[in-house]
Amino acid sequence: MQPAERRYVLTLSCPDRPGIVAAVSTFLATFDGWIVEASHHADAAVGQFFMRQEVRASTVPFDLTELRGQFSELAAQYDMTWAIHDTAAPPRTVFLCSKQDHCVVDLLHRWRTGDLPCELVAVVSNHEDMRSFVDWHGVPYHHLPVPAGSIDDKRPAFDRLRDLLRDLEADTIVLARYMQILPPDLCDAWPNRVLNIHHSFLPSFAGGKPYHRAFERGVKLVGATCHYVTAELDAGPIIEQDVVRVNHADAIDDMVRRGRDVERRVLAEGVRLHLERRVLVHGNKTVVFH
Amino acid sequence: MQPAERRYVLTLSCPDRPGIVAAVSTFLATFDGWIVEASHHADAAVGQFFMRQEVRASTVPFDLTELRGQFSELAAQYDMTWAIHDTAAPPRTVFLCSKQDHCVVDLLHRWRTGDLPCELVAVVSNHEDMRSFVDWHGVPYHHLPVPAGSIDDKRPAFDRLRDLLRDLEADTIVLARYMQILPPDLCDAWPNRVLNIHHSFLPSFAGGKPYHRAFERGVKLVGATCHYVTAELDAGPIIEQDVVRVNHADAIDDMVRRGRDVERRVLAEGVRLHLERRVLVHGNKTVVFH
Amino acid sequence: MQPAERRYVLTLSCPDRPGIVAAVSTFLATFDGWIVEASHHADAAVGQFFMRQEVRASTVPFDLTELRGQFSELAAQYDMTWAIHDTAAPPRTVFLCSKQDHCVVDLLHRWRTGDLPCELVAVVSNHEDMRSFVDWHGVPYHHLPVPAGSIDDKRPAFDRLRDLLRDLEADTIVLARYMQILPPDLCDAWPNRVLNIHHSFLPSFAGGKPYHRAFERGVKLVGATCHYVTAELDAGPIIEQDVVRVNHADAIDDMVRRGRDVERRVLAEGVRLHLERRVLVHGNKTVVFH
Amino acid sequence: MQPAERRYVLTLSCPDRPGIVAAVSTFLATFDGWIVEASHHADAAVGQFFMRQEVRASTVPFDLTELRGQFSELAAQYDMTWAIHDTAAPPRTVFLCSKQDHCVVDLLHRWRTGDLPCELVAVVSNHEDMRSFVDWHGVPYHHLPVPAGSIDDKRPAFDRLRDLLRDLEADTIVLARYMQILPPDLCDAWPNRVLNIHHSFLPSFAGGKPYHRAFERGVKLVGATCHYVTAELDAGPIIEQDVVRVNHADAIDDMVRRGRDVERRVLAEGVRLHLERRVLVHGNKTVVFH
């Protein structure tokens, strides 16, 4: 859970070699920076090192700009890809939804009760249905219809969506059963910052109608997958997955009902992990520091 | 758990219509047959009805042949596919294994402690490794090498295997990580009576090296699937599945280790369900009366 | 899932003996009543038989009163405790909640989307907080404050609550983290019709502050239990339970957060099973026909 | 999974303060020690810091004695409780079992296939039953009968057991369903090095006949708990727990059967975590670095 206490979150990855932990922790120790939580991972297969550190902001004797400046010298020595985020400036986040509202209702509740550390700047939908519900939460609602038809037919709508997201200065975009396939340029504009929930245990049943196909195949579990969106459909880095048991007595509608529970849970967990800067992407895989 | 008490197990399927349950239960009630366990399922999508009844043998006032004879008249009226089995004559079963022995060791233990109601007539392996372990259990061991190479190269070995299984009068055949793909004629000779454990959550990662491919894809759960073997690889009716959580810190070897646990459990559960006549096959799907 | 199609749901229990299934199914077959779903259970330990049947209302050639009348003769012969419910007249249900709103928000969503087959007649709370949210759902909201203090201090409030529930003709009452212990007379007035969610895996940590005590004990899983409320605190018949993994890094607040998910899910599942008449109580235990 | 590659495993705990990670990692960095895996935990509630580091032995330019000597100076500064273990000298381990053999059979298989990094010096049982099975594994078997009766009656047997364990220079003792309550002096002689599997989800159903009591209470899940043995029965620090679903149709025998699976799995996981030095005890709780 994101703490009330203000923290700086350092995330980095670099080629693995001895001395990285010593260098970073010595850097923090020089000014008595208090590490509240620390996680490392060395991926032997690719020779890459990953790290996440949470430091009490009150123990850092200078401001964020100075902290970044000082760290950048160290980072250069080790060829690090890195970031330092301030929990006092949580990601500007937009939820996109459609008519099936179980995921967005769940996310709104978690946001309202403090489980999702973000600044929720808007909910965008291709339908009007959820306006008054979102209004109740005090969150701006944007109705942006997307026509049926081909990619070309939808192009103007997606251009408006991209402009809207830019105007909102969105950092993180959550597709909460949005039911539209984003065009590649939109995915590319927010790399590893657009999260989707797919209603199957990927890579099984990528694409449309996964519950129908699960029913046809006679599987005994159905699942859900939270992943970053990339230009290739349902093929981006996986953040979180889970499954629920079904049996022969479950018709497709029952699978859909049982699946809703796991979709909600998996998306919420994936979004929380992302917002807390616990997900590092390398190639098409994620390191998730729970 | 299979009871010490002797029972008759009636399984049937037929086109769905009113009165089936009444007809069957009245048939049993005419001679005060005591139903210990009863399960039904009506599959609305295909209009098919499925039933399983366990009756105390001591409450049936005639022998199995007479019971079958009397029931056959009723069965004909409703166009039933049916069987009546006697728990005193459990299925003659053969385990096939290779060098990876975790599944066969587990099955042998469960058989020895009474969890798997079968007459275990043999263990067959393409290696000698497990002979003395199987000997300790008092079960015949057959070493039947299968050469590397093409289907044609393996043909003579599989012919010998088919002959051996026939000589053993095998009713049920369990591929306990046998690591060989059975030729179609062998699958067809024991339809819905050859059980396999595949080390992935099917339909994901059908075919070879599923853990390697799961690792490449970065999934957060790995699974196992127990299914009936058909001529199409890893595509037969699914009996049981389960998964276990993995994370970025798990190398392929760790996935293999975690996967062994779920393979063992899923195969043992699938085999038990089959042996207790709880699995009814319809098309490429199963009805499993737990 | 509760079907759109109208059904009669027959539930019964009686001393076990041969012929019960035949008698009931023959009764239904005389008028070609179409059984959509049937479940039985014989409890060998106590010699009791339990049954649930769902019949298509359109296949019953007379009305509910007549159906009950005809069945009552059969029921008397077998000494049955029984009921026949009409899915067109779902239980009049009241949700009781307090400040922690995750359960009631979840139940409202499921009710709104058709997952909970009930007539939701009111939400009652000892606080005003949720009024406008409940209003949005078009459900009456009753603010009924309960003072801090002794049972005697709370007595007048609980008398008003009992009167309110009677005025509302409540059939089923759901304590959605209500945070008040109902006095015995209230529990007794709705036997096996008041459902509670307790935030532990009972019988562990019955009573107050279960997460604190789970943290102190250092357990590796925390759970939730949906049960019928009886005069003895947290000791009524259990309907549904589940758990979620925690570890040393989880502070009490984290346990609370993880626990909310499982509370929501377990309560919703327990309420659905109850509303669909799938829960039969015998002594202090439940038979649940999933 | 314990690697073939030789490693030194450093575990420590000390009062929390800034600079610990820097001090330890700098110590290792001075000689280019390669950290393969690192885990920390700061317990805010008690102000205690915990750490585990795995270092490639080949990157340490002196022997274990020298490494310990050098580290002891640092350890003294931070008031650490610490240890450095060599994976080339795995714990001398003894399994204790009785007639119910599912746990010991499972542990022996995992040991044989390399999943449990220990030197298995003996299996001790109060019965002869498992002798030839253990012999097959090439592990010494000791039959040490324990009479029925009071603690006093059993005293001589437990004295012999203690002497035997001392003669065997046992480091770790695993009670694999041993079915005897060890006297306090034996528990105290191997503090946090005697592991037990209890067949319930503790703290529920501590003491005898947990499945019977779970059945009476009507719980919907049964569990198992691996914990360190202390003088107070079933109250020691918990290492690992898990549960499995049961329902009304499960008689006590079915619960026992389903429970065996989870007992096996939980004990094996707890033993592996302990042997890999992943479990640090603080008070009556554990920090487990998975």
pLDDT at A36: 87
Within C173-233, residue ranges assigned H as helices are 184-189, 210-217
Tell me the C-alpha distance between B115 and B3, whole Å: 10
CB neighbourhood size of A220 (10 A): 24
> From the candidates A37, A54, A106, which should be mutated to test the interface with C, based on the most C CB atoms within 10 A?
A106
Cβ proximity of C97 and C103 under 8 Å = yes
Q: Where are the beta strands (DSSP E) in D126-253?
A: 141-143, 172-176, 194-198, 221-228, 238-245
Chain B's closest residue to D256, CA to CA, is: B1
Cβ proximity of B139 and B120 under 8 Å = yes
pLDDT at C1 over 70: no
DSSP state of C81: E
Tell me the C-alpha distance between C283 and B27, whole Å: 33
D272: Cβ–Cβ under 8 A, 6 or more apart, which residues?
D110, D115, D116, D117
Whether the bond into B203 is cis, omega within 30 of 0: yes
C-alpha of D69 from chain center:
27
pLDDT at D129 over 90: yes
CA-atom Rg of chain D in angstroms: 21
Cβ proximity of C124 and C164 under 8 Å = yes
Contact B221 A203 (CB under 8 A): no
Q: Provide the pLDDT confidence category of residue B269 given band limits of 50, 70 and 90.
A: very high
Sheet containing strand C221-228, edge to edge, reads C141-143, C119-125, C92-97, C172-176, C194-198, C221-228, C238-245
Cβ proximity of D194 and D178 under 8 Å = no
Altogether, the residues listed in chain C come to a count of 290
Q: Provide the pLDDT confidence category of residue B44 given band limits of 50, 70 and 90.
A: confident
Structure token pair of residue C73: 């003769």
pLDDT at B109 over 80: yes
Contact B243 A240 (CB under 8 A): no
Cβ proximity of B23 and C21 under 8 Å = no
Cβ proximity of C9 and C273 under 8 Å = no
Helix axes B102-112, D102-112, angle to 10 degrees: 160
Q: Provide the pLDDT confidence category of residue B4 given band limits of 50, 70 and 90.
A: confident
Structure token pair of residue A109: 């509740």
Mean pLDDT of C271-278: 98
pLDDT tens, position by position, C156-214: 999 999 999 999 999 999 999 999 999 999 999 999 999 999 999 999 999 999 999 99
Does the beta carbon of D243 lie under 8 angstroms from any beta carbon of chain C?
Answer: yes
Does the beta carbon of A129 lie under 8 angstroms from any beta carbon of chain C?
Answer: no
Partners of B242 on chain A (C-beta within 8 Å) are: 221
Partners of D217 on chain C (C-beta within 8 Å) are: 202-203, 238, 284-285
Instruction: Give the 3-state secondary structure percentages of chain B, helix then strand then coil, rounded to 5.
Output: 35, 30, 35
Name the strand (E) or helix (H) holding B9. strand B7-15
Q: How near does any CA of chain C get to the CA of D281, in Å?
A: 11
pLDDT at A2: 44
Mean pLDDT of D190-216: 95
Q: What is the mean pLDDT of chain B?
A: 95
Best CA proximity match to D21, nearest among A30, A217, B92, B73:
A30
C-alpha of A209 from chain center:
23
Tell me the C-alpha distance between B244 and B220, whole Å: 9
Best CA proximity match to A105, nearest among A88, A125, A86, A89:
A125
Partners of B21 on chain C (C-beta within 8 Å) are: 21, 25, 29, 35, 38
Q: How near does any CA of chain D get to the CA of A22, in Å?
A: 4
Q: Where are the beta strands (DSSP E) in B108-171?
A: 119-125, 141-143
pLDDT at A273: 98
Cβ proximity of B227 and B202 under 8 Å = yes
Mean pLDDT of A215-237: 95
pLDDT tens, position by position, C259-274: 999 999 999 999 999 9
Does the beta carbon of B191 lie under 8 angstroms from any beta carbon of chain A?
Answer: no
Give the HSE-up count for residue D264: Cα atoms under 13 Å, Cβ half-sphere: 24
> From the candidates D48, D201, D212, D220, which should be mutated to test the interface with C, based on the most C CB atoms within 10 A?
D220
Mean pLDDT of A232-244: 95
Best CA proximity match to B286, nearest among B272, B270, B264:
B270
pLDDT at C18: 86
Does the beta carbon of D212 lie under 8 angstroms from any beta carbon of chain C?
Answer: no
Sheet containing strand C81-86, edge to edge, reads B81-86, B7-15, B48-56, B35-43, C35-43, C48-56, C7-15, C81-86
Query: B255 vs B252, C30, D78, D113, D265, CA distance in Å?
Result: 5, 58, 38, 15, 16
Q: Provide the pLDDT confidence category of residue D4 given band limits of 50, 70 and 90.
A: confident
Best CA proximity match to B179, nearest among B252, B101, B243, B111:
B101
Q: Provide the pLDDT confidence category of residue C4 given band limits of 50, 70 and 90.
A: confident
Cβ proximity of D176 and D96 under 8 Å = yes
Size of interface B-C (CB pairs under 8 A): 54
pLDDT at D18: 85
Partners of D243 on chain C (C-beta within 8 Å) are: 201, 221, 243
CB neighbourhood size of B48 (10 A): 18
pLDDT tens, position by position, D197-209: 999 999 999 999 9
Contact B109 D113 (CB under 8 A): no
pLDDT at D2 over 50: no
pLDDT at C2 over 80: no
Q: What is the mean pLDDT of chain A?
A: 95
Q: Provide the pLDDT confidence category of residue C123 given band limits of 50, 70 and 90.
A: very high
pLDDT at D140 over 60: yes
Tell me the C-alpha distance between B88 and B168, whole Å: 19
Percent of chain A whose pLDDT exceeds 90: 91
Percent of chain A whose pLDDT exceeds 70: 99
pLDDT at D36: 87
Single out the catalytic residue among A234, A250, A253, A254: A234
Contact B202 A220 (CB under 8 A): no
pLDDT at B111 over 80: yes
Tell me the C-alpha distance between D274 and D283, whole Å: 17
Cβ proximity of B211 and B259 under 8 Å = yes
Does the beta carbon of A137 lie under 8 angstroms from any beta carbon of chain C?
Answer: no
Angle CA D187–D191–D192, to nearest 5 = 110
Name the strand (E) or helix (H) holding D111. helix D102-112
Q: Which residue has the tokens 């989707």?
A: A196
Partners of C252 on chain A (C-beta within 8 Å) are: none
Tell me the C-alpha distance between C256 and A235, whole Å: 34
Cβ proximity of B97 and B177 under 8 Å = yes
C-alpha of B267 from chain center:
8
Best CA proximity match to A259, nearest among A248, A270, A246:
A246
Cβ proximity of B269 and B262 under 8 Å = no
Q: How near does any CA of chain C get to the CA of A102, in Å?
A: 8
Cβ proximity of D136 and B136 under 8 Å = yes
Tell me the C-alpha distance between A6 and C193, whole Å: 47
Q: What is the mean pLDDT of chain D?
A: 95
Structure token pair of residue C124: 């009652």
Does the beta carbon of D240 lie under 8 angstroms from any beta carbon of chain C?
Answer: yes
Within A88-233, residue ranges assigned H as helices are 102-112, 131-136, 151-167, 184-189, 210-217
Best CA proximity match to C116, nearest among D119, A257, D274:
A257
pLDDT at B80: 98
Does the beta carbon of D76 lie under 8 angstroms from any beta carbon of chain C?
Answer: no
Does the beta carbon of D44 lie under 8 angstroms from any beta carbon of chain C?
Answer: yes
Partners of B28 on chain C (C-beta within 8 Å) are: 18, 22
C-alpha of B271 from chain center:
4
Percent of chain D whose pLDDT exceeds 90: 90
- Residues of C identified as active-site: 234
DSSP state of C183: P
Q: Write down the ipTM of this complex.
A: 0.93
Cβ proximity of B74 and B24 under 8 Å = yes
